[in-house]
Amino acid sequence: MSPAPASLPTPTPDPALPARVRVHEVGPRDGLQNERAVVPVEVKAEFIHRLADAGLTTIEATSFVRPDRVPQLADAEDLWPRLADLPGVRLPALVPNARGLDRALALGVREVAVFASVTESFARANLGRSVDASLDMFAPVVTRATDAGVPVRGYLSMCFGDPWEGEVPIPRVVAVARRLLDLGCAELSLGDTIGVATPGRVTALLAALGDAGIGAERLAVHFHDTYGQALANTLAALRYGVTTVDASAGGLGGCPFARSATGNLATEDLLWMLRGLGIETGVDLDRLTAASLWMARHLGRPSPSRTVRASAPEEA
The residues assigned a catalytic role are 255
Q: Tell which one of 189, 226, 234, 264 touches Mg ion (CB under 5 A).
A: 264
d(CA 264, CA 250): 9
Paired with 114 in beta bridges are 154
Give Cβ neighbours of residue 7 (< 8 Å, ≥ 6 apart): none
The 10 Å Cβ neighbour count of residue 184 is: 18
Q: How far is the CB of 31 from Mg ion (least distance, A)?
A: 8
Q: Is residue 59 within a helix (H) or strand (E), and if so which, with residue range?
A: strand 58-59
DSSP for residue 27:
I
Residue 184 or 270 having the CB closest to Mg ion: 270
Q: How far is the CB of 264 from Mg ion (least distance, A)?
A: 4
Residue 264 or 305 having the CB closest to Mg ion: 264
Question: If binding is defined by CB under 5 A, does position 192 make contact with Mg ion?
Answer: no
Question: How many residues bind Mg ion, per CB under 5 A?
Answer: 2
Q: How far is the CB of 197 from Mg ion (least distance, A)?
A: 13
Residue 47 or 184 having the CB closest to Mg ion: 47
For residue 196, how far is the Cα from the chain centroid? Answer: 16
Phi, psi of 251 (to 5 degrees): 70, 25
- Give the footprint of Mg ion on residues 18-37 (CB under 5 A): 30
Residues 119/269/247/221 CA torsion (nearest 10 deg): -50
Residue 193 or 289 having the CB closest to Mg ion: 193
Helix, strand, coil distribution of the chain in percent, nearest 5? 45, 15, 40
Residue 184 or 263 having the CB closest to Mg ion: 263
Q: How far is the CB of 249 from Mg ion (least distance, A)?
A: 12
d(CA 232, CA 131): 29
Which ranges constitute the DSSP H helices of 190-282? Answer: 199-211, 230-240, 267-276
- Give the footprint of Mg ion on residues 45-104 (CB under 5 A): none
Q: How far is the CB of 201 from Mg ion (least distance, A)?
A: 18
d(CA 101, CA 166): 32
Residue 25 or 30 having the CB closest to Mg ion: 30
Q: How far is the CB of 26 from Mg ion (least distance, A)?
A: 6
Q: Which amino acid is at 141?
A: V
Binding site for Mg ion (CB under 5 A): 30, 264
